[in-house]
Amino acid sequence: MTRHNLTTVGYFILLGFSDLPKLQGILFVIFLSIYISILIGNGLLIFLTKIDPGLQTPMYFFLGNFSFLEICYTSVTLPRMLADLWTQKRTISFLACAVQTFFFCIFAVAESLLLAVMAYDRYVAICKPLYYPLIMNHKVCVQLVVASWMLGVPVLIQQTYQIFSLNFCGPNKINHVFCDGPPLFKLACGDTHKIEVSTYLITYVFALIPFLLIIASYVKVITTILKLPSTTGRSKAFSTCFSHLMVVGLFYGSGSIVYLQPKSSHSKGFVKILALIYTTVTSMFNPLIYSLRNKDVIAALRKLLQK
């Protein structure tokens, strides 16, 4: 009888930065600039890894896929936020909110897994160089990329279904910049404890296990590098690994601040800013990190500019 008395929410309102009405135009220009830089930077990396013969290696195959993933990841949230800033409507349908939540989670999980795959590639290249062409052949590389994209899909379909099967009967204003599990739980009627626990558990599994694999890979990599007799060899090996470690640090560092800090320490505005950093900072700096510290990418870019 209680269920029949509940009114079902048909749409949500993403409040975003509505509390800063005078800054809507400035915020639109800032986030549009960020999105364009992400598209151009990552798109250029994808293009270079496809056309340049010197970049036809497993390392750059993974980098090209990672850049494509970065574009997909930010395209789930930034275009919608730009539209809200431009039109000031801020409404999102129940179905669109569910789709945004699902793809945001899918791409976040895929990014975490692909970073682990890239760390494994560096481990094989430096610790087992003689077996590298055999282990990291094209078929294996494709399988690892497909696994990174698809591994979380069944779990996240079920989890998204559980989140949006909750009763949303009261306020429909999401005090966030995009649809995500934690802000939606605050709007649900009834007990959400079990779903919240399962959501955070899935987050920890898909974030912690790849992170531990990355750490284990780089412990062995650094140990092997330090044993190299040549100073030049050590410098080159450290250079190829450092770029990846910077991206790992940005992704897991900003993500852990968003999801692992105590709820009591969260302020509404601070959470929004952290969420934007988490979803855009890695994507924006990824091309810069890999191009500025990578001689092969710089050489390929020079060839392209000369043509």
Q: For residue range 123-151, what is the model confidence (pLDDT) as tens digits?
A: 998 888 899 999 999 999 999 999 999 99
Q: Can you give the residue ranges of every domain in the chain?
A: 8-306
Residue 92 has pLDDT above 60, yes or no: yes
């669109």: which residue's tokens?
A: 96
Q: How confident is the model at residue 1 (pLDDT cuts 50, 70, 90)?
A: very low
Q: How confident is the model at residue 259 (pLDDT cuts 50, 70, 90)?
A: low
Greater confidence (79 vs 171) lies with 79
Write down the pLDDT at residue 117: 94
Q: Are 207 and 110 in contact (CB under 8 A)?
A: no
Three-class SS string for 56-80? CCHHHHHHHHHHHHHHHHHHCCHHH
The mean pLDDT value of the chain amounts to 83
Q: How confident is the model at residue 269 (pLDDT cuts 50, 70, 90)?
A: low
| Lowest model confidence (mean pLDDT) among 114-123, 143-152, 264-273 | 264-273
CATH code of the domain made up of 8-306: 1.20.1070.10
Residues 5-32: tens digit of each pLDDT: 444 667 888 888 777 778 888 989 999 9
Write down the pLDDT at residue 74: 92
Q: Are strands 173-174 and 11-14 parallel, antiparallel or unpaired?
A: parallel
Write down the pLDDT at residue 90: 84
Q: Are 94 and 164 in contact (CB under 8 A)?
A: yes
> Measuring CA to CA, which residue among 94, 74, 72, 262 is closest to residue 179?
94
- The helix (H) or strand (E) run that includes residue 12 is strand 11-14
Write down the pLDDT at residue 3: 44
> Measuring CA to CA, which residue among 87, 76, 92 is closest to residue 9?
92
